[in-house]
Structure 1
Amino acid sequence: MEFRQIQYFLMLCDELHFTEAANKLGISQPTLSQQIRVLEDELDTPLFDRIGKKTVLTEAGMLFQQYAQQIVHQMENAKLSISDLMHHHTGTVKVAVYSTDLDNRLIPLLVDFHKEYPKTKIQIIPSVDILNEVLNNEVDIGIGLASIEDHRLHKTSLYTEGYNLYVNDQHAFSQKKIISPKELSTLQMVMYPKGFIGRDLIDTWCEANHVSIQTIMETGSATSLIKLVQENIGATIQPSQLIDYYRETGVTSIPIKDAPTRELGIFYRKDKYLSTAAHSFIIKVVALLQKT
């Protein structure tokens, strides 16, 4: 069995069409068919059923697909490990972050990281689907809700914080020391769109507290939401520590009674090779955010 045959097999699993799979592989359709037959002969069982113009995986094919994916994944780990050794920390570290309100908190860390690993490219990718991106090896590291549970992940908790109400300094509520949940219903809000984890967390809390919030505008950027509060378009509900990065902006942060909270964590696949630079990044994130 050759590694390229496994790659051919997995491409056909994705496409379930010999011609399309062959085109993506850059080989002829007869070559792909012949290599799949060789694989099936070696395993002594059909991996695909050809039903008219349709191609479907057999039960044996579905089982072999799981092992084939692991083989390819381990080969990628081996290549990354050797590249890390030979090229002195070149390469890319991809980090999915579920909320843009973390961007400013990570800037000092990114500066420090670049000084230590100037040849390593780092990508901070805002995401609302961090768990699947980590599990599907689309990113190396995820920073998101620590409540995520999966036996395939290694996870370290970072910190827990509550949510505050953010209003313009001239707003009628700006002098309040604390806001009750019911008072939120009277406000015009600017918020993340539904589907964002932060918004879903707040909506779940509102439902539990019999609170209905009314949004006048929605955007996926914490910076944009704070700017809208500055312009007195509306109020917003954001993590309490966010105010530390918007000092002297004309915005007031007010605690909410029995506020929703979030616990953040950093996680990655247990079976994924992480470069020395990636491990260093994780250590720096833990050292920075566990203090906050």
Structure 2
Amino acid sequence: MNYTQAAEILGITQPALTQQIKKLEHAIGAPLFGQAGKKLYLTAAGKEMRVAAEKLLGTISAVVDNVQAFTRIDKGNISIGVLNSIEGKVLSDFLVDYHKHYPNITLTIEVLNHQDILKYLDNNELDLALMYAKGDPVIQSQFTKENIYKDRLIILTHKDTVEKYQECIPSRFYNRKWVAYPADFYLRRVIQNVFGSRNKLRVPITSSSTQQNVKMAQNSKYDTFISQSYYLQHEDNINSLTPVYLKGDKEFDISLVYRKGKTEIPRVKNMIKEFQKFLDKKDYSSRLVEKSE
């Protein structure tokens, strides 16, 4: 409420400020300030203009923040999807370390199935995804993938005629009953491909949770199957089940997947680089078996 002080703050002369206020009042068609003696006050129109100006400045500030977040490596949000059948320990350890160095980056992590990850990546709702990507034509054609770790299927069986890590022919398990992932899950498709179309899995219990599959298999007579990466991390907690491999199965990659062009966003490009540096210090396999303190 002081023209002289306001002009000094703005770095202009008082007449210039007075002229700008008059132009604004002329454009609006109403006075913004009234005067009682030597004191200024806001008119009703002035109060409305102040509210509108504050909203406008807030919008401008938000836009500036968003643009800066887009162009900076240390500010903004990164959203990451994790396939629900992948052991997430290594990624979790990395994100904790990453957040220490980039505290102004907000992280959003979602555990999703294969189809939803692809949909969210395509709709730009995810920046990055950790998933199985081998043999998927959609990923090959539309996305970039960086292979992180070669995984493999492990059978957890109650059979007492096998030895730990033995390679068994698939026919030894054709008549077994399973606690298994849903039919559209990647690992379920992997084991079904090894068994062949004529030997459908007998699945009395279906669950999308690896942890639940293992627990229910332990507490029943049914076998189950998981990824080698999950077993390496949780071996100490898996009892009464023997881990074996299937002859004829194939390794599959855990990959970092993202839309082509995502590396044009500095913070995303930097996170990919930091993740690789993290794995260069100690590889994925070693980190899987690393015990938490």
Distance 1:226 1:156, change over 3 A: same
CA 1:105/1:272 → structure 2, altered by over 3 Å: closer, same or farther? closer
Q: Secondary structure at the match of 1:201?
A: helix
How many residue pairs end up in the alignment?
A: 212
Q: Do the aligned residues in 1 keep the contact of 2:263 with 2:269 (CA within 8 Å)?
A: no
Q: Residue 82 of structure 1: which of 52, 65, 68 is its match?
A: 68
Matched, 1:207 2:192: no
Number of the residue aligned with 2:119: 132
- How large is the RMSD of aligned CA atoms in angstroms? 3.0
Q: Which residue of 2 aligns with 1:20?
A: none
Say whether 1:258 aligns with 2:274.
Answer: no
Which of the residues 264, 276, 281 maps onto 2:271?
A: 281
Per-residue deviation at 1:119? 2.6
SS of the counterpart of 1:258? coil
CA deviation after TM superposition for structure 1 residue 150, in Å: 4.3
Equivalent AA in structure 2 for residue 131 of structure 1: L
Matched, 1:236 2:224: yes
Q: In structure 1, which of residues 158, 171, 178 is the aligned counterpart of residue 148 of structure 2?
A: 158
- Amino acid across the alignment from 2:249: A
2:90 is equivalent to residue 100 of structure 1: no
SS in 1 for 2:153: strand
Secondary structure of 1:190's partner? strand
Aligned amino acid, residue 141 of structure 1? L
1:193–1:199 contact (8 Å) kept in structure 2:
yes
Contact 1:163 1:255 in 2 (8 A): yes
**Distance of 1:150 and 1:181 partners within structure 2:** 29
Whether the aligned pair in 2 keeps the contact of 1:164 and 1:259 (CA below 8 Å) is: no
Given candidates 205, 211, 218, the residue that maps to 1:217 is 205
Residue 157 of structure 1: CA displacement? 1.9
Structure 1, gaps ≥5 residues long: 1-77
SS in 2 for 1:220: coil
When normalised by structure 2's length, the TM-score is 0.62
Using structure 1 for the length normalisation, give the TM-score. Answer: 0.62
Answering whether residue 167 of structure 2 is matched by residue 182 of structure 1, we say: no
Kindly provide the amino acid, as one letter, of the partner of residue 245 in structure 1. Q
> 1:269 corresponds to which letter in structure 2?
R
Instruction: Mark the CA change 1:192 to 1:81 in structure 2 (over 3 Å): closer, same or farther.
Output: farther
Q: Which runs of 5+ in 2 are unaligned?
A: 1-63, 286-293
Question: Is the CA contact 1:89–1:275 (under 8 Å) kept in the aligned structure 2?
Answer: no
Give the equivalent residue in structure 2 for 1:49.
none
Q: CA deviation at 1:273?
A: 6.1
Give 3-state SS (helix, strand or coil) of 1:253's partner: strand
- Does the CA contact (< 8 Å) of 2:90 and 2:284 recur in 1? no
Aligned sequence identity (%): 18
Q: Per-residue deviation at 1:242?
A: 1.9
1:179 and 1:138, CA in 2 relative to 1: closer, same or farther beyond 3 A?
Answer: same
What CA distance in whole angstroms lies between the structure 2 residues aligned with 1:82 and 1:254? 52
Give yes or no for contact 1:165–1:253 (8 Å, CA) kept in 2: yes
Contact 2:153 2:187 in 1 (8 A): no
Supply the AA of the counterpart residue of 2:69. Answer: S
Deviation by residue 1:48-76 (Cα, 9 ceiling, x = unmatched): xxxxxxxxxxxxxxxxxxxxxxxxxxxxx
